[in-house]
Amino acid sequence: MIKKCCSILLCLIALANVSGQTRSRPAQKKPAVKQPAEVVEAYAVCREFQRLFGEDLDFDRAYEATFTKDPARRRAIARAEIEVNDVDLSQIDDATLIGIYKDETQLFWLLILIMAADEHVPKAELLTDEINSVYDRFRVRPKTPAELREYAAELKQDVMIVRAHLNQLAAKHDSVAEQIQKMKKGLADLKLPDTFVVQPLTSYRNTNVLRANEKYYDIGNYEVIRENGEMKIIGIRFFTRLF
């Protein structure tokens, strides 16, 4: 589109010169704003998440490569994102809690892709009894530590079930495969702003993840901090970027 517009502009200038008309020159485009190195790094880690997740829709892999490495922050993120308000989480270890966050996020994305295929795939084939059972388990929230541990184990199985079902649908229906590729393509679009300088923010929405005076960057739908000399993701707002 940019090349096409430039070609049209050049043609108009040439025609104006030939006809002898005097026109004022178009205003020169302002030079692109240069972002601080830290902002460039913040965008880079977000793009890396998108690249990794876009390859095979493996949230765990993308998370481990790009998210905070701090155990306390990881736990705080998981506590904030999963809805288990009735459970005494002091009895739940970090690995279980963080695993639930990762598996719920993974399952969310896979189920979204299945739901998006409802106009192209017969309902009976799309929502099998096994998939409906996964939906039912996903909606019921654990209320005790024992139920939460059982839920964590079921989640891992459900992720495998839904992924296998999605792969089967994609292999059989071109529309499903195209929908998956559309989502992957959408994940690849994250560019540095060239009209303003990205500034760090404070007062993060979750004070258990960051203290009020600690800085972070809001990069598209990602929230990023500097941690031990590297930029790391601490949050993603999923509902604002699906396709």
Q: What is the pLDDT of residues 23-62, one digit of tens each?
A: 444 555 667 889 999 999 999 999 999 999 999 999 999 9
Residue 18 lies in a domain: no
| Tokens matching residue 178 | 């195209």
Nearest alpha-carbon partner for 182 in 101, 120, 107, 103: 120
Residue-level pLDDT at 30: 64
Residue 4 lies in a domain: no
Residue whose pair of structure tokens reads 């977000």 in the numeric block: 46
Residue 1 lies in a domain: no
Residue 201 lies in a domain: yes
Q: What is the Cα–Cα distance from 110 to 168, expressed in whole angstroms?
A: 13
pLDDT, tens digit, 9 for 90 and up, residues 134-178: 988 888 889 999 999 999 999 999 999 999 999 999 999 998 998
- What are the angstrom distances between the C-alpha of 129 and each of 52, 105, 133, 161? 31, 22, 6, 12
Q: What is the Cα–Cα distance from 102 to 122, expressed in whole angstroms?
A: 30
Work out the mean pLDDT of the chain and round it to a whole number.
85
| Tokens matching residue 74 | 């990881």
Residue 14 lies in a domain: no
Q: What is the Cα–Cα distance from 218 to 42, expressed in whole angstroms?
A: 9
pTM over 0.85: no
Q: Is the pLDDT of residue 1 over 60?
A: no
Q: Is the pLDDT of residue 4 over 80?
A: no
Q: Is 216 helix (H, G, I), strand (E, B) or coil?
A: strand
Residue 7 lies in a domain: no
Tell me the Ramachandran region of residue 57: left when phi exceeds 0, alpha when psi lies from -120 to 50, beta otherwise: left
Q: What is the Cα–Cα distance from 125 to 147, expressed in whole angstroms?
A: 31
Give residue 163's domain range. Answer: 37-240
pLDDT, tens digit, 9 for 90 and up, residues 79-111: 999 888 889 999 999 999 999 999 999 999 999
Residue-level pLDDT at 231: 98
Residue-level pLDDT at 9: 30
Cβ neighbors of 183 (< 8 A, separation 6 or more) are 113, 242, 243
Residue-level pLDDT at 198: 95
Residue 184 lies in a domain: yes
- Residue 12: band (very low, low, confident or very high) from pLDDT cuts 50, 70, 90: very low
Q: Is the pLDDT of residue 3 over 70?
A: no
User: Number of helices and strands (H, E) in the chain?
Assistant: 9, 3
Number of domains within the chain: 1
pLDDT, tens digit, 9 for 90 and up, residues 179-196: 888 888 777 678 899 999
Residue 95 lies in a domain: yes
Q: What is the Cα–Cα distance from 107 to 118, expressed in whole angstroms?
A: 17
- Residue 228: band (very low, low, confident or very high) from pLDDT cuts 50, 70, 90: very high
Residue 162 DSSP label: H
